[in-house]
A = this chain, B = another copy of it.
Amino acid sequence: MTRTISILGSTGSIGKQALEVIDGLPGKFSIFALAAGNNIELLKQQITKYKPQVVSVGTEELALELEKEVKNVKVLQGQEGLKQIAGDSQNEVLLVAVTGLNGLEPTIYAIENGIDIALANKETLVSAGSIVTGLAKEKNVNIIPVDSEHSAIYQCIGGKNSAINKIILTASGGPFRTSSIKQINNADVETTLAHPKWSMGSKITVDSATLMNKGLEVIEAHWLFSLDYKDIEVIIHPQSIVHGAVEFIDGSVISQMGLPSMHIPIQFAITYPEKFTGIKTGSLDLTQISRLDFEKPDLNRFPCLEMAYEAGKNGGTYPAALNAVNEEAVYAFLKGKIKLTDIAKIVSKALEQHENIPDPSFKDIMEVDKYSRKIVSEYLLSKL
Contacts and interface: CB of A to CB of B under 8 A. Distances in A.
Interface of A: 155-156, 158, 162-163, 165-166, 168, 235-237, 245, 247-259, 261, 263-264, 267-268, 275-278, 281-284, 286-287, 289-296
Contacts of A249: 275-278
A250 B256 CA distance: 12
Contacts of A252: 155, 256-258, 264, 268, 278
A103 B166 CA distance: 38
A180 to B, nearest CB: 21
Residue in A237, A253, A254, A264 whose Cβ sees the most chain B Cβ within 10 Å: A253
Contacts of A261: 251
A150 B332 CA distance: 53
A96 to B, nearest CB: 21
A2 to B, nearest CB: 19
A114 to B, nearest CB: 26
Contacts of A237: 286
A129 B187 CA distance: 61
Contacts of A168: 286
Contacts of A253: 256-258, 284
Given A294-B286, A296-B287, A259 B251 contact: yes
Contacts of A286: 168, 235, 237, 245, 294
Contacts of A290: 293-295
A257 B259 contact: no
A247 to B, nearest CB: 6
A227 B287 CA distance: 22
B257 A275 contact: no
Contacts of A250: 264, 267-268, 275-278, 281
A287 B158 CA distance: 25
Nearest to A290: B294
Contacts of A156: 254
Given A259-B251, A292-B291, A294-B286, A275 B155 contact: no
A158 B155 CA distance: 10
22 contacts: A155-B254, A158-B158, A165-B283, A166-B283, A235-B286, A235-B287, A237-B286, A245-B257, A249-B276, A250-B268, A250-B276, A250-B278, A251-B263, A251-B264, A251-B281, A252-B268, A254-B257, A255-B255, A255-B257, A287-B294, A289-B294, A290-B295
Nearest to A249: B277
Contact of A247 (B158, B162, B283): B283
B294 A291 contact: yes
Residue in A162, A256, A268 whose Cβ sees the most chain B Cβ within 10 Å: A256
Contacts of A255: 254-257
Given A250-B277, A252-B257, A290-B293, 16 more contacts: A155-B252, A155-B254, A162-B275, A166-B283, A168-B286, A251-B263, A251-B282, A252-B268, A253-B258, A254-B254, A255-B255, A286-B294, A287-B295, A290-B295, A291-B291, A291-B292
